[in-house]
């Protein structure tokens, strides 16, 4: 590990501890426009270190940015996985709102991190809300957040986060909504797809939606004969979430399985995905 890598996470943690007033002063739009292009400062100016409105609302801990090398020290895995940062709740809600009736479905966040999407999914009548992450520390935090939500909203579906590398997941089953916020690169994405295809081929998975926020590896799913497009758009951040994540809008593409498919409902579902780099993809 280089000295820069060793110092980066403590530096980010120290910035995250600054009072919100100090962080807001640092994040004026003009400063942000310039600093977001500078190495290391890019992470600070992503806005991920600020305490997100959802955490202020629920007293949970889903904010922060955790470097890939902190998540996973295995050099063979680290180049494939992306750092932890939370996705924007309003984008998750708008995506889930396109699906229609999800009664009886299980929500699965692949690379759930601290579990922000799990909290949002628990607002919906899923049978169960599940998350998998390679970092045991993040999974511990996600389960503490889940407990806080269960205490406050006992009628919501149960939330559970599990420490696992998705490369080794047992075949999933039932009716599923699989959510991802740009967790990793194309090799792991292909491994995940093969797992889902096996479940569809055997009938273990009856119907499947894949909701992919920042679909950098969207080609992997477009090429599968087991899937077809359901929805594709750029969703802008809600005004109250602007400055709490690196972008101002996210591309979101949704696929559904051919098995058990619902009638097509969105004419713009086949919009093209242009991947700019490993952190950004635009739906055109």
Task: Measure the CA–CA gap between 142 and 251, rounded to whole angstroms.
Answer: 25
Say whether residue 138 binds ligand SAM (CB under 6 A): yes
Using CB under 6 A as the binding criterion, the count of chain residues that bind ligand SAM stands at 26
- Residue 115 CB neighbours (<10 A): 30
Q: Does 109 bind ligand SAM (CB under 6 A)?
A: yes
- Closest alpha carbon to 157 in 81, 96, 241, 234: 96
Look at residues 132, 86, 85, 81 and name the one whose alpha carbon lies nearest to residue 107: 132
Binding test (CB under 6 A) with ligand SAM, winner from 132, 209, 235, 244: 132
Q: Is 165 in the site for ligand SAM (CB under 6 A)?
A: yes
Under 8 Å CB-to-CB from 91, ≥6 apart: which residues?
A: 213, 235, 237, 250, 252
Using rule CB under 6 A, residue 85 touches ligand SAM: yes
Q: How far is CA 35 from CA 38, 97, 178, 251, 255, in A?
A: 5, 35, 34, 23, 36
Sole window of 83-91, 97-105, 229-237, 241-249 interacting with ligand SAM (rule: CB under 6 A): 83-91
Judge contact between 234 and 250, C-beta under 8 A.
Answer: yes
* Residue 63 vs 256, nearer CB to ligand SAM: 63
Q: Which stretch binds ligand SAM (CB under 6 A): 10-18, 48-56, 112-120, 228-236?
A: 112-120
Q: Please state the closest distance from residue 94 (CB atom) to ligand SAM, in A.
A: 14
SS3 for 93-157, per residue?
HHHHHCCCCCCCCEEEEECCCCCHHHHHHCCCCCCEEEEEECCHHHHHHHHHHHHHHHHHCCCCC
**Position 46 contacts ligand SAM (CB under 6 A):** no
55 binds ligand SAM (CB under 6 A): no
Interface region with ligand SAM, contact rule CB under 6 A, candidates 43-51, 183-191, 218-226, 244-252: 183-191
Using rule CB under 6 A, residue 269 touches ligand SAM: no
Q: State the burial class of residue 130 (Cβ atoms within 10 Å of its Cβ: 0-12, 13-18, 19+).
A: buried
Among residues 60, 63, 135, 143, which is the contact residue for ligand SAM, using CB under 6 A? 135
Instruction: State in angstroms the smallest separation of the CB of 50 from ligand SAM.
Output: 14
DSSP state of 269: T
166 binds ligand SAM (CB under 6 A): yes
Contact residue for ligand SAM among 45, 84, 105, 235 (CB under 6 A): 84
Contact positions toward ligand SAM, by CB under 6 A? 71, 81-82, 84-87, 109, 111-113, 116-117, 132-135, 138, 165-167, 181-184, 188
């Amino acid at each position: 590990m280089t000295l820069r890598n060793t110092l980066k996470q403590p530096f980010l943690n120290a910035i995250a501890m600054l009072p919100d007033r100090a962080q807001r002063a640092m994040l004026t739009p003009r400063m942000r426009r310039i600093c977001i292009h500078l190495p290391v400062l890019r992470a600070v100016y992503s806005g991920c270190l600020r305490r997100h409105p959802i955490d202020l609302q629920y007293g949970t801990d889903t904010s922060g940015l955790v470097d890939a090398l902190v998540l996973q020290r295995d050099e063979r895995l680290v180049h494939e996985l992306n750092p932890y940062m939370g996705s924007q709740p309003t984008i998750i809600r708008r995506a889930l709102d396109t699906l229609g009736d999800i009664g009886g479905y299980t929500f699965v966040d692949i690379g759930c991190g601290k579990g922000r999407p799990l909290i949002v999914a628990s607002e919906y009548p899923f049978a169960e809300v599940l998350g998998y992450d390679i970092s045991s520390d993040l999974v511990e935090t996600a389960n503490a957040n889940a407990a806080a939500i269960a205490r406050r909203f006992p009628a919501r579906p149960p939330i559970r986060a599990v420490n696992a590398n998705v490369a080794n997941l047992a075949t999933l089953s039932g009716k599923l909504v699989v959510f991802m916020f740009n967790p990793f690169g194309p090799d792991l994405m292909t491994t995940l797809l093969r797992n889902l295809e096996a479940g569809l081929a055997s009938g273990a998975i009856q119907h499947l939606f894949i909701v992919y926020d920042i679909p950098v590896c969207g080609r992997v799913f477009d090429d599968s004969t087991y899937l077809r497009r359901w929805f594709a758009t750029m969703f802008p951040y809600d005004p109250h979430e602007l400055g709490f994540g690196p972008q101002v809008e996210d591309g979101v593409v949704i696929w559904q399985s051919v098995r058990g498919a619902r009638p097509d409902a969105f004419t713009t579902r086949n919009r093209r995905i242009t991947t700019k780099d490993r952190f950004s993809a635009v739906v055109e």
